[in-house]
Amino acid sequence: MEQRERDDRGDIVVRVGAPPRPADRWAGAGEEPMIEDVIADPLFHLLLRRDRLTVADICAVVEEGRRSLRGRG
């Protein structure tokens, strides 16, 4: 089975018999990982450290966004 698609740069990528990559499950609109899954990811912690942020910083922003969205309804 061969799939042809364009990547972010517009280059054609051919996938031959390759199963979907785990990251592809988040590629669809409206489907997002749970915040708990993001926080549990070791790469997320590396990015936090690089950006000099904490999990508490991220949780505060997420909660602020939730409050803002509730206020729109």
- Please state the domain extents for the chain: 2-72
Our measurement of the distance from residue 26's CA atom to the centroid of its chain's CA atoms, rounded to an integer in Å, reads 6
Rounded to an integer, what distance in angstroms lies between the CA atom of residue 70 and that of residue 2? 44
Q: pLDDT tens, 49-72?
A: 999 999 999 999 999 998 998 888
pTM beyond cutoff 0.85? no
Say which DSSP state 17 is in: S
**Helix (H) / strand (E) containing 37:** helix 35-40
pLDDT of residue 52: 97
Which of 27, 29, 33, 32 minimizes the C-alpha distance to 7? 27
Q: Are 31 and 23 in contact (CB under 8 A)?
A: no
